[in-house]
């Protein structure tokens, strides 16, 4: 019975992690799409202007618009948005495969030995250690709230309702007697 309980715990953790990775991937895809919109617009505007205006008038406009495109591409590369999307997708797929492997054990195996469980736990730990990207806090908070009755991974157990120093700052009333002494 303990073996089945352990497998169910890790199955739920794999499910929650796959959701975290999926939503993080979606968020980064949204950012990429938002950043790509100005690139598309600038390209279209530049094409229209090149066909309408003469070469002398276009020199400064070309420099400004091409500089803007370079700046936008630099921002995308600096934040490594495409890399994050690929990493989150890869990790999500690994968690889903592990979740299916656990599901297979739970539904087809009549005798689950300790070696199988140790392999699953070790694989899970390796997958968790592989991810070096931070999942956005609002995603963690949303998943933790929605799935609070499930076995959450450690990364969600440490999430408080408040994040960072600014939202948790509590004003401390000065001690009037101490102020008078100084």
pTM over 0.85: no
Please give the tally of structural domains in the chain. Answer: 1
Question: Percent of the chain, pLDDT > 90?
Answer: 42
Q: Which residue has the tokens 């003469």?
A: 54
Predicted pLDDT at 91: 96
Question: Tens digit of pLDDT for each residue in 17-51?
Answer: 999 999 999 999 999 999 899 889 988 988 888 88
What is the model's pLDDT at position 63?
87
Residue 57 domain boundaries: 2-181
Task: Give pLDDT, residue 106.
Answer: 87
Query: What is the pLDDT at residue 169?
Result: 44
- Residue 170: per-residue pLDDT: 47
Task: Spell out, as residue ranges, where the chain has pLDDT lower than 50.
Answer: 168-176, 178-182
String of DSSP letters for the chain: -HHHHHHHHHHHHHHHHHHHHHHHHHHHHHHHHHHHHHHHHHHHHHHHHHHHS-HHHHHHHHHHHHHHHHHHHHHHHHHTHHHHHHHHHHHHHHHHHHHHHHHHHHHH-S---HHHHHHHHHHHHHHHHH--SPPPHHHHHHHHHHTTTS---HHHHT--SS-HHHHS----PPPHHHHHH-
């Amino acid at each position: 019975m303990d073996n089945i309980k352990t497998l169910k715990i890790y199955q739920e953790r794999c499910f929650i992690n796959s959701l975290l990775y999926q939503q993080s991937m979606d968020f980064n895809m949204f950012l990429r799409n938002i950043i790509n919109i100005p690139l598309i617009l600038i390209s279209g505007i530049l094409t229209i202007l090149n066909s309408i205006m003469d070469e002398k008038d276009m020199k400064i406009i070309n420099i400004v618009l091409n500089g803007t495109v370079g700046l936008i591409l630099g921002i995308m590369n600096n934040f490594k948005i495409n890399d994050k999307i690929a990493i989150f997708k890869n990790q999500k797929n690994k968690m889903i495969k592990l979740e299916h492997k656990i599901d297979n054990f739970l539904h087809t195996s009549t005798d689950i030995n300790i070696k199988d469980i140790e392999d699953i736990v070790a694989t899970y730990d390796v997958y968790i250690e592989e991810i070096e990207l931070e999942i956005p806090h609002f995603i963690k908070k949303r998943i933790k709230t929605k799935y609070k009755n499930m076995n959450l991974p450690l990364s969600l157990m440490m999430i408080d309702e408040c994040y960072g120093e600014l939202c948790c700052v509590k004003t401390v009333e000065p001690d009037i007697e101490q102020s008078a002494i100084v």
